[in-house]
């Protein structure tokens, strides 16, 4: 007589267990839905900037320089556009007022390097991080900004100067600390040699931006890049004519970041 009782109790237990599992599954689906909706709302709240059919991010490396950076800034301001400057710490120490002027003018400021000494800074992870730290602190001390997220590795994130192992651990460490390293998909060619004519620079940018929805243009504002300054007004004029919206990395939206990550421009 005990077996039927046990069978009934066992059956009730199984029934309750199944009901509990179904309830948990339903609750988990609800949690997942709520989490997805919450994340969607967060994204929408953070990413409520308008979208553009074509966007260009003008970027300048290796400054600030005493003779070219302020000229570039003046051209940008005259044309009502902004750009991103990846700073060399040593040059910022030499020209602090120029860096402050860039920052106060609403230009985006990122870390490039302190020394720009490839052999030294890429010799190890510790060497790179020290170079990065010094540069970031100089920028903070001059501009008051401590929330720098974007960095451009000298030579790019796939350069042939650093060893593959060192470069990989540097990139992994940057990403692990919330930093985003930025490459480019349009090369002005102004660093191919000491002097490159303004016409070549302009044509390189025009050719590079054709058929692109997002263009990140690599240029330089270091001491010898006078032809970059000369080419810039025509470059801006062309990009405006073609309907490009001028963007900076300080104002980047989540959608833009996702698109550039997908294209291998950010965190390649």
pLDDT digits (tens, 9 = 90+) for 193-242: 999 999 999 999 999 999 999 999 999 999 999 999 999 999 999 999 99
Task: Give the gyration radius of the chain's Cα atoms.
Answer: 26
**What tokens were used for 141?**
């001390």
pLDDT digits (tens, 9 = 90+) for 133-176: 999 999 999 999 988 999 999 999 999 999 999 999 999 999 99
With a cut of 60, say whether residue 6 has pLDDT above it. Answer: no
With a cut of 80, say whether residue 61 has pLDDT above it. Answer: yes
**Rounded CA separation 190/200 (Å):** 8
pLDDT digits (tens, 9 = 90+) for 232-249: 999 999 999 999 999 999
Average pLDDT over residues 24-49: 41
Q: Are 69 and 98 in contact (CB under 8 A)?
A: yes
With a cut of 90, say whether residue 26 has pLDDT above it. Answer: no
**What tokens were used for 240?**
């405006």
With a cut of 60, say whether residue 39 has pLDDT above it. Answer: no
**Rounded CA separation 206/234 (Å):** 10
**Which residues make Cβ contacts (< 8 Å) with residue 247, sequence separation at least 6?**
52, 55, 56, 57, 82, 256
Question: Which pTM does this prediction carry?
Answer: 0.82
Structure confidence at residue 24 (pLDDT): 43
Structure confidence at residue 43 (pLDDT): 42
**Rounded CA separation 191/196 (Å):** 8
Only one residue has tokens 């931006």, namely: 209
Structure confidence at residue 52 (pLDDT): 83
Structure confidence at residue 266 (pLDDT): 98
Domain residues of the chain, as ranges?
1-46, 55-262
**What tokens were used for 237?**
């004029």
Q: Which helix (H) or strand (E) holds 229?
A: helix 226-241
CATH T-level fold of 55-262: TIM Barrel (3.20.20)
**What tokens were used for 165?**
């192992």
Torsion sign (Cα): 23, 29, 35, 38: negative
């Amino acid at each position: 007589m005990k077996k039927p009782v046990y069978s009934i109790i066992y059956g009730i237990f199984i029934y309750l267990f199944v009901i509990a599992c179904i309830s948990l599954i339903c609750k988990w689906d609800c949690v997942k839905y709520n989490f997805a909706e919450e994340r969607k709302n967060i994204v929408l709240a953070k990413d409520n900037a308008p979208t553009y059919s074509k966007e260009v991010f003008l970027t300048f490396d290796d400054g600030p320089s005493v003779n070219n950076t302020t000229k570039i800034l003046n051209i940008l301001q005259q044309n009502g556009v902004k750009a991103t400057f990846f700073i060399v710490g040593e040059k910022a120490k030499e020209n602090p007022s120029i860096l402050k002027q860039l920052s106060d003018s609403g230009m985006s400021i990122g870390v490039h390097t302190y020394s720009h000494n490839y052999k030294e800074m890429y010799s190890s992870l510790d060497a790179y991080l020290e170079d990065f730290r010094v540069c970031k602190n100089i920028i903070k001390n001059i501009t008051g900004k401590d929330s720098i997220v974007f960095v451009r590795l000298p030579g790019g994130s796939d350069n042939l100067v650093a060893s593959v192992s060192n470069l990989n651990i540097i990139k992994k460490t940057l990403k692990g600390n919330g930093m985003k390293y930025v490459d480019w998909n349009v090369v002005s060619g102004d660093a191919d040699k000491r002097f490159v004519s303004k016409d070549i620079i302009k044509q390189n940018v025009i050719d590079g931006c054709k058929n692109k929805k997002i263009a990140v243009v690599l240029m330089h504002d270091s001491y010898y890049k006078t032809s970059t300054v000369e080419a810039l007004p025509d470059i801006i004029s062309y990009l405006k004519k073609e309907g490009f919206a001028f963007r900076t990395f300080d104002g980047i939206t989540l959608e833009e970041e996702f698109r550039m990550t997908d294209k291998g421009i950010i965190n390649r």
